[in-house]
Amino acid sequence: MEGFIDIHSHILPQLDDGSSSMEQTLRMLKIAYDDGIRTMIATPHAHDGRGACDKEVMEQKLKDVKEAIKDTYPGMKLYLGSEIYYSHDSIKKLNDKKYPAMADTKYVLVEFSPMAEFRYIKNGLQEFILDGFNPIVAHVERYYYVVKDLERVDELIQMGACIQVNAASITGEFGKEYQGITKKLIKNNFIHFLSTDAHSDGNRAPRLKKCVDYLTKKYGEEYISEILIHNAEKLLLNQYI
């Protein structure tokens, strides 16, 4: 299978703790392409505490990468987004166009501290919704107080949030605990997006093959299409999922 859409990746060079150079970015894109990914949303960390840079800088980097791959990977589409670390002024930053939303849509990828209280996460997501955004919870498996009770995941979905998990959590590369949690999320059909959250061409490369093989065997190609293609297509069209 190919034509996958990866909505969470740190492929833009020298912006955050992701790719450290254009050379590394190109190696990452080769890995992604070889694993069947044909569309990527670059989501640099938008986190003032970690020296988030402006949207204009991100846009320029994306342009540079697009230029660098236009002959080698003409079939690869790249978009800009960001992984917003929730804080009291996240929405102001979005509205002031300092942080990019996902591919110029109303979707936003939102991250929290792993030990954030459930109420804090729920209220934070609600703020985005009230302001007209569609929040996607980045790697939900990491938030202890959300996944300790799966009804809470459902509560976030019912409120209007989307759920993203990392492929490496499903394959067990982040440990048995995350693997167990993601299995339960799959069984409850709580996942909207499966992504690489790639940071490098090494340990955290944009690989999907192992995860796709596993999920195809267990749940079939239709499920893969839903969480790796169709829902992301709706996102790119700014449609509700």
Q: Which residues of the chain form contacts with Fe ion (CB under 5 A)?
A: 83, 197
User: Measured between alpha carbons, how far is residue 188 from residues 14, 40, 44 in Å?
Assistant: 38, 26, 30
- In the complex, the smallest distance separating the C-beta of residue 236 from Fe ion, rounded to whole angstroms, is 19
- In the complex, the smallest distance separating the C-beta of residue 233 from Fe ion, rounded to whole angstroms, is 21
- In the complex, the smallest distance separating the C-beta of residue 82 from Fe ion, rounded to whole angstroms, is 10
Which lies closer to Fe ion via its Cβ, residue 220 or residue 235?
235
Which lies closer to Fe ion via its Cβ, residue 197 or residue 226?
197
For residue 226, which of 216, 238, 237 has the smallest C-alpha distance? 216
Contact call for residues 106 and 135 (beta carbons, < 8 A) = no
Which lies closer to Fe ion via its Cβ, residue 84 or residue 156?
84
- In the complex, the smallest distance separating the C-beta of residue 126 from Fe ion, rounded to whole angstroms, is 22
Burial string for 163-182 (b: 16+ CB within 10 Å, else e) reads bbbbbbbbbbbbeeebbebb
- In the complex, the smallest distance separating the C-beta of residue 83 from Fe ion, rounded to whole angstroms, is 5
Contact call for residues 193 and 21 (beta carbons, < 8 A) = no
Which lies closer to Fe ion via its Cβ, residue 72 or residue 200?
200
Cβ burial of 132 (10 Å; 0-12, 13-18, 19+) is: exposed
Which lies closer to Fe ion via its Cβ, residue 46 or residue 157?
46
Residue nearest Fe ion, CB atom distance:
197
The token duo for 17 is: 């703790």
